[in-house]
């Protein structure tokens, strides 16, 4: 009976301890940003590379918006719980490309948040218009269907 007490103590610590550790921010899943754009990131491969789809809520063009493919990679570290990443969206309905770079955070409410900056390169016919071809901005993404 006396030996059972330390065992039960270790067992209860082992069961409770995981809830104290920092939650990992995971890129895979469904996300929505502050503009109302939706993004799905598929499972990462062994090198941290991923593919997915992006449904933007806004466009700099007059074209009809279509869901567009994205490709990216997460920094190759397993230890970090809040990894850096980048991805490119090759727009299906315009001649533009957007590159996003950011970091996957767990905020103080325990929710995953992607803080990103982007560069949107639009097509221009002439080199003299190059100066106006690139827009810059930020987007914050929240998970739509939080993982349990
Ligand atoms: C285009 O207008 O040529 C393509 C769509 C660009 C949408 C931009 S990308 C950065 C910003 N964040 C979004 O979710 N949508 C806009």
For the chain, domain boundaries: 29-143
Say how many Å lie between the CA of residue 97 and the centre of ligand 1.
9
Is residue 119 in contact with ligand 1, taking CB distance under 6 Å? no
- Residue 120 contacts residue 110 (beta carbons within 8 Å): no
* pTM, rounded to two decimals: 0.86
- 93-145 confidence digits (pLDDT tens): 999 999 999 999 999 999 999 999 999 999 999 999 999 999 999 999 999 98
In the block, tokens 């949107």 appear at 120
pLDDT at 96: 98
Say how many Å lie between the CA of residue 48 and the centre of ligand 1.
24
In the block, tokens 């998970």 appear at 143
Element (H, E) at 41: strand 38-41
CATH of the domain spanning 29-143: 2.40.128.30
Please write down the long-range contacts of 59-64, taking CB distance under 8 Å and 24 or more positions apart: 59/93, 59/94, 60/94, 60/96, 60/120, 60/122, 60/135, 61/93, 61/94, 61/96, 61/122, 63/93, 63/94, 64/93
In the block, tokens 């850096």 appear at 84
**Distance (Å, whole) CA 2 – CA 15:** 21
Is residue 56 in contact with ligand 1, taking CB distance under 6 Å? yes
Residue nearest to atom 8 of ligand 1 (CA): 59
Residue nearest to atom 4 of ligand 1 (CA): 59
């Amino acid at each position: 009976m006396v030996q059972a007490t330390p065992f039960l103590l270790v067992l209860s610590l082992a069961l409770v301890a995981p809830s104290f550790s920092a939650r990992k921010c995971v890129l895979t899943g469904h996300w929505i940003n502050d503009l109302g754009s939706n993004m799905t990131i598929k499972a990462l491969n062994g090198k941290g590379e991923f593919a997915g789809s992006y449904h933007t809520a806004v466009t700099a063009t007059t074209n009809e918006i279509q869901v567009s493919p994205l490709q990216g990679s997460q920094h190759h570290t397993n230890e970090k719980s809040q990894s850096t990443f980048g991805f490119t969206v090759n727009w299906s309905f315009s001649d533009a490309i957007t590159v996003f770079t950011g970091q996957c955070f767990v905020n103080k409410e325990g929710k995953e948040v992607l803080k990103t900056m982007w560069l949107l390169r639009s097509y221009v016919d002439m080199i003299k218009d190059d100066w106006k071809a690139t827009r810059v901005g930020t987007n914050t993404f929240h998970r739509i269907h939080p993982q349990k």
